[in-house]
C-alpha cells in the first residue's frame, strides 16, 4: 500500500469514476479461502434445499401438511442461496458492489423477505408440532392441507409486502441520509437503517422466536409426560387403541424433536446478527466491518443447515436423495415408492 494518505487508483471499486467507493481488498490467499467457504455455503443452500423440495413434492408418501410447510421453508432457503448469497459473497470478499444500484435494492429486499419468510415458516411449524404432540389423535382434523396452505401464504405474503414497502419507499434511512449516501458511493451496497426500523426488525425476529421457545418448551414437557405414562403402563396389557395412541405420540414427539433442532439452529444463526443490528443502530454504527460480515454469513449459513439436519435425522430423506441422485426418480412408479422402513 502507498504511504500517501490519498488512495491510489487500484484501491477504488471503479478506477475511472468520480465518487467511487474505496476498495479494501483481502490478500489473495484470504480471498481464495473466503470464496471457498462462502461458495460452499451457497451451493449447499441451493442444491440441499432443492433436494428437500423435490423429495417432498415428488413422493406421495411425503404429502402431508407439515411436510408442505417444510418444502415451502426449503424454497425460501433455496431462494436465499440463489438470489442473495452469491452476490453477497462477491461484495464481502471484494468489498465492492458491481451489480448496479437497482439490483442492490432488489437484493436487499430479497435478503429481508426470504429470511423473514424462513422465520415465519418455522413459527408455523412450531405451532403445527405443538398441536401434533399435545393432541395427536385430533391433530389430523385441526392442521389440514388447507390450514397448511394458509400458513404458507402468510409466510410469503407478509415478508414480501413488508420488505418491498420498506426498501422501495426509502423510509428505512429517514434521518440518516448523509450516512447512507456516504456508504453507498459508486460500488457500495450497504443498508443503513434508522433506529425505529431496526427496533421493528428486532421485534419481528424476537416475538416469533419467543413464541417458538414457549411452544417447544411445552412440547418437550408434554413429550416427557407422555413417555412416563407409556413406561408406567408398559408392564400392563394394553388395548389396541392404547397401543396405537402410544405409537402416534412417539412418532409426533420424534418429529417435534427434529424440527426443534431446526429452530434452535435458526436462533443460533440469527441471534448474533439481530443483536448486532440493534446495538449498532443505537451506538452510532460502531461495529467493525469484519464482525458485521461474520454475523451476516452466520445468518446466511442457516439456509444451508436445514438440509444437513434432515439428512442426519430423517431416514426417508436419505432414501429420497439416493433415489433422486441415482436417476430412479425418473421412473413412472417412483412417486409411489415406500420411503419408510416401517409404518407407524
Cα→Cα distances 181→25, 115, 190, 207, 274, Å: 21, 26, 10, 32, 23
Question: How many structural domains comprise the chain?
Answer: 1
User: Would residue 274 count as lying in a domain?
Assistant: yes
> 280: domain CATH number?
1.20.1070.10
Q: Which of the two residues, 96 and 8, has the higher pLDDT score? A: 96
Q: What is the pTM of this model?
A: 0.84
Angstrom distance (rounded) from CA 178 to CA 228: 62
Inter-helix orientation angle 101-134/195-233, to 10°:
30
User: Would residue 270 count as lying in a domain?
Assistant: yes
User: Would residue 9 count as lying in a domain?
Assistant: no
Long-range contacts of 308-314 (CB under 8 A, 24+ apart): 308/44, 308/48, 309/258, 309/261, 309/262, 309/265, 310/52, 310/70, 310/258, 311/48, 313/258, 313/261, 314/258
User: Would residue 11 count as lying in a domain?
Assistant: no
**pLDDT tens track for 26-46:** 788 989 999 999 999 999 999
Domain range for 75 is 24-232+242-335
User: Would residue 132 count as lying in a domain?
Assistant: yes
Cα→Cα distances 50→134, 285, 323, 324, Å: 32, 37, 14, 11
Per DSSP, the three-state class of 236 is coil
pLDDT for res 235: 52
User: Would residue 237 count as lying in a domain?
Assistant: no
pLDDT at 192 over 80: no
Angstrom distance (rounded) from CA 238 to CA 225: 18
Inter-helix orientation angle 289-313/85-94, to 10°:
140
Please give the average per-residue pLDDT across 40-65, as a whole number.
Answer: 93
Lowest mean pLDDT among 44-48, 209-213, 218-222: 218-222
Angstrom distance (rounded) from CA 123 to CA 337: 31
User: Would residue 18 count as lying in a domain?
Assistant: no
Amino acid at each position: 500500500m502507498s504511504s500517501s494518505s490519498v488512495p491510489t487508483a487500484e484501491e477504488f471499486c471503479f478506477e475511472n469514476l468520480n465518487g467511487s467507493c474505496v476498495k479494501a481488498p483481502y490478500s489473495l490467499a484470504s480471498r481464495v479461502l473466503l470464496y471457498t467457504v462462502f461458495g460452499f455455503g451457497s451451493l449447499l443452500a441451493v442444491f440441499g434445499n432443492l433436494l428437500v423440495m423435490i423429495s417432498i413434492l415428488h413422493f406421495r408418501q411425503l404429502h402431508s401438511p407439515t411436510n408442505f410447510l417444510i418444502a415451502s421453508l426449503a424454497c425460501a432457503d433455496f431462494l436465499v442461496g440463489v438470489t442473495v448469497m452469491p452476490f453477497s459473497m462477491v461484495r464481502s470478499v471484494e468489498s465492492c458492489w458491481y451489480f448496479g444500484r437497482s439490483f442492490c435494492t432488489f437484493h436487499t429486499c430479497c435478503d429481508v423477505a426470504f429470511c423473514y419468510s424462513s422465520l415465519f415458516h418455522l413459527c408455523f411449524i412450531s405451532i403445527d408440532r405443538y398441536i401434533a404432540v399435545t393432541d395427536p389423535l385430533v391433530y389430523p382434523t385441526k392442521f389440514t392441507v388447507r390450514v397448511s396452505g394458509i400458513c404458507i401464504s402468510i409466510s410469503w405474503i407478509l415478508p414480501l409486502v413488508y420488505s418491498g414497502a420498506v426498501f422501495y419507499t426509502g423510509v428505512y434511512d429517514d434521518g440518516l441520509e448523509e450516512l447512507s449516501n456516504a456508504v453507498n458511493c459508486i460500488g457500495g451496497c450497504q443498508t443503513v437503517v434508522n433506529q425505529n426500523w431496526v427496533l421493528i426488525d428486532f421485534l419481528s425476529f424476537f416475538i416469533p422466536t419467543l413464541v417458538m421457545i414457549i411452544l417447544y418448551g411445552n412440547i418437550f414437557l408434554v413429550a416427557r409426560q407422555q413417555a412416563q405414562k407409556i413406561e408406567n403402563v408398559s408392564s400392563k396389557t394394553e388395548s389396541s387403541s392404547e397401543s396405537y395412541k402410544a405409537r402416534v405420540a412417539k412418532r409426533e414427539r420424534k418429529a417435534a424433536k427434529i424440527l426443534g433442532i431446526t429452530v434452535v439452529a435458526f436462533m443460533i444463526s440469527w441471534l448474533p446478527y439481530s443483536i448486532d443490528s440493534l446495538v449498532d443502530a443505537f451506538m452510532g454504527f460502531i461495529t467493525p466491518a469484519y464482525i458485521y460480515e461474520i454475523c451476516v454469513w452466520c445468518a446466511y449459513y442457516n439456509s444451508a443447515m436445514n438440509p444437513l439436519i434432515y439428512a442426519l435425522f430423517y431416514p426417508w430423506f436419505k432414501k429420497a436423495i439416493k433415489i433422486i441422485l441415482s436417476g430412479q426418480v425418473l421412473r413412472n412408479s417412483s412417486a409411489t415408492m415406500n420411503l419408510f422402513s416401517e409404518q407407524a
